[in-house]
Amino acid sequence: MGIGNDFVHQTQSLDLSHSAQNLGLDQPPNELPFDDTNLIQLPEPGSIEVPGLDLRDAIERRRSTRVWADEPMSIEELAYMLWCTQGLKSEFQFFGRAWHRNVPSSGGKHPFETFLTINKVTGLAKGLYRYIASRHALILIDDSPDVLERNVAAAGSINHFIKNSAVVLTWVAVPERMTWFATDRGYRNLYLDGGHVGQNAYLSAMQVGCSVCTMCMFEDELYNQLVGVDGEHQFVLYACAIGKVKPGPVHFPG
């Protein structure tokens, strides 16, 4: 039937007796290591004022857009969206160490690391950053002038529109966090969790006058190279481009 069907069948097992957890192997960290000497602290979520938004209205008006206004996002708007999509609230014990974030995740393991290509955000220089959820802060990874151009190439010709966005959020999967307790079935959870994060991106963007287009079709090898992961132990799974809403009709609704 093909590789997709093979994936479904080969990840059906609910037998966790041979999981890394049950074999006594150490749990992988909830967050990849980082150098805390150059953290860029983001505005605290509680200090950011956002307008109210009726949930039904938000769900009914949710759209993918590929054209944005030629104006920057504020650092407060970006901080709010990062908090809504991957913000850390607390730690608890469930199948080992687990995190409460603002999106659900199987076992509270949250397999994603968030990278950002900044193009137009007040208070932040252009470049590639990583979001450190445990500190609600950013780290600059790459300030080369061609970072956005390389991100556009990695996104592929179908997503060339991202060059006009204010920010591109890229979610890198760390499958070991899931497979440690759920074996290979944990790979299914990566894609489920991506949907949770993407929906929060759409809804939180609306609240701060922005719009989003998520992307799951891209040049995997180029994208992994862009953010510096090996494509096996860590790999780009999902991304979205964000910008300020442009007045007028919705473009390419989806």
**Over residues 124-149, mean pLDDT:** 97
Residue 92 burial by Cβ neighbours in a 10 Å radius (0-12, 13-18, 19+): exposed
pLDDT at 254: 55
Q: With 70 as the cut, is the pLDDT of residue 205 above it? A: yes
- H/E stretch holding 149 reads helix 147-155
Q: Are 214 and 247 in contact (CB under 8 A)?
A: no
Per-domain residue ranges of the chain: 37-244
pLDDT > 70 in the chain, percent: 97
Give the per-residue pLDDT at 95.
82
Q: Strand pairing partners for 88?
A: 101
What are 183's two structure tokens?
């074996």
Averaged pLDDT, 71-96? 95
Residue 225 has pLDDT above 60, yes or no: yes
Looking at residue 103, its pLDDT comes to 96
Query: Crossing angle, helix 186-207 and helix 75-86, to 10 degrees?
Result: 150
Average pLDDT for residues 130-154, to the nearest whole number? 97
Q: Are 10 and 50 in contact (CB under 8 A)?
A: no
Give pLDDT, residue 250.
55
Task: Give 187: exposed, middle or buried? Use CB within 10 Å, 0-12, 13-18, 19+.
Answer: middle
Instruction: Tell me the fold of 37-244.
Output: NADH Oxidase (3.40.109)
The answer on pLDDT for 5 being more than 90 is: yes
pLDDT surpassing 80 at residue 56: yes
For residue range 153-169, what is the model confidence (pLDDT) as tens digits? Answer: 999 999 999 999 999 99
Residue 210: both structure tokens together: 């922005």
Q: What angle do CA 196, 197, 198 make, to 5 degrees?
A: 95
**Percent of the chain at pLDDT above 90?**
89
The per-residue pLDDT for 109 is: 95
Q: Is the pLDDT of residue 174 over 60?
A: yes
pLDDT (0 to 100) of residue 94: 86
The whole-number average pLDDT for the span 176-190 is 96
Mean pLDDT of 182-205: 96
Element (H, E) at 192: helix 186-207
* The model's pTM: 0.94
DSSP state of 185: G
Provide φ and ψ at 10, rounded to 5°. -80, -5
From residue 46, alpha-carbon distances to 42, 80, 103, 201 in Å are: 11, 9, 17, 18
pLDDT band for position 248 (cuts 50, 70, 90): low
